[in-house]
Amino acid sequence: MKDIQTKADIEELITLFYSKVAQDPSLSPFFANIDWEKHLPQMIRFWCFALLDEPGYTTNVVEKHLHMPLKEAHFSTWLKYFNETIDTLFIGEKADAAKQRAAVIGWTIQSKVEKE
Banded model confidence at residue 115, pLDDT cuts 50, 70, 90 = very low
Q: What is the mean pLDDT of the chain?
A: 89
What is the Cα–Cα distance from 68 to 64, expressed in whole angstroms? 9
**Single-letter amino acid, residue 31:** F
What is the Cα–Cα distance from 96 to 2, expressed in whole angstroms? 12
- In this model, does residue 116 exceed pLDDT 50? no
Banded model confidence at residue 11, pLDDT cuts 50, 70, 90 = very high
pTM given for the model: 0.88
The structural domains of the chain, with segments of one domain joined by +, span 7-112
pLDDT digits (tens, 9 = 90+) for 48-84: 999 999 987 777 676 766 667 778 888 899 999 999 9
Architecture in CATH for domain 7-112:
Orthogonal Bundle (1.10)
